[in-house]
Amino acid sequence: MTNTIVTLESRPTGAIQESNFGMKTEEIRELNDGEFLVAIEALSMDPAIRGWMNAGTTYIKGIELGTVMRSFSAGKVIQSKNDAFKVGDYVEGMLGAQSHAISDGSGMRIIDVSKSKLTHHLGVLGMPGMTAYFGLLRRGEPKAGDVIYISAASGVVGSTVGQIAKIKGCTVIGSAGSDAKCKFLIDECGFDYTINYKTENLDAKLKEYAPNGIHIFYDNVGGDTLNTALANLAQGARVVICGAISQYNDMANIQGPANYMKIVTARGYMTGIIVFDFVKEWPAAANEIAGWIADGKINVKEHIVESLENYFSTLQMLYTGENFGKLILTV
């Protein structure tokens, strides 16, 4: 039996290039005691992958050259020498961008695909959904009546943050890069207001929709968007930095917040969210989100592309804004 693997062959300078990646096929070795083999069915394509391609260590070590591209993946156990993971079980974890993976169970979780789609465990019930859940509830600390603004709101993190905020009684504003994405946020996610940042003035619209300021800013973009939001904070505002997709291609020259003194005058704070800090609480959070989905309180949109051969072009969609919904690559 063979395994098809997507590898990191060189580190990008600026935007990712097809030459940064390789693909190879190799024989799958025999299992050792305590291991099991997974036939991977789907990969989660996440903005964080661009940062993982850099050298060095931040909250997680960069991918080594010549090794498999890191990704959260899900699939079915097809061989096992581990009593905790039986043949036929479906699992999710950081199994990488490949068709098969051998694991000893570290960091793996068994998932129930009889009650929810496998791909949901890579999105709203996986790492992105957990980022939304803990970033908002533990870092943003929403209260009924708060006004929240979410950048890159049509992605799985942003749309989930907005829908949880509505459950908590907030007024929700989201920005996205097309009229279709804005319509999705209003019609399917229940947002109160949306802003097409490509055709509308962000500052003017925030002042229109939040005349008394923003209580929570959940940022996935950084750069100019962060600066504009900081200029529109309410007293006691909480700024949650989840990502900075506008800056990932030039992290050596990242554009920092010019308006950071607004945090002082707002008597607010700015904080970050690293979802791995809450990993022990993921199962309970996933159960709560699954309940909201079942009750029709959270809607999910996915953008699915097929085949590992399309790895580069699919990953590139994240940084050009071509994807619409949680981006998944099926094997």
pLDDT digits (tens, 9 = 90+) for 155-165: 999 999 999 99
pLDDT tens figures, 202-242 = 999 999 999 999 999 999 999 999 999 999 999 999 999 99
Indicate the length of the chain as a whole number.
331
User: Where on the phi/psi map is residue 7: left (φ > 0), alpha (ψ -120 to 50), or beta?
Assistant: beta
pLDDT digits (tens, 9 = 90+) for 293-325: 999 999 999 999 999 999 999 999 998 889 898
Strand ranges, E, within the chain = 2-8, 21-27, 36-44, 73-80, 90-93, 100-103, 109-111, 147-150, 171-176, 193-196, 214-219, 233-241, 269-272, 302-306, 326-330
Q: What is the pLDDT of residue 273?
A: 95
Give the chain's domains with CATH numbers. 2-123+300-330 (3.90.180.10), 128-276 (3.40.50.720)
Query: What would the mean pLDDT of 7-33 be, rounded to a whole number?
Result: 96
When pLDDT is averaged across residues 264-284 and rounded to a whole number, the result is: 94
Residue pair 227/206 in contact (Cβ under 8 Å)? The answer is no
pLDDT for the residue 50: 92
Residue 91 and residue 77: Cα distance in Å, rounded? 7
| Residue appearing with tokens 């990502």 | 243
Contact at 8 Å (CB) between 250 and 272? Answer: no
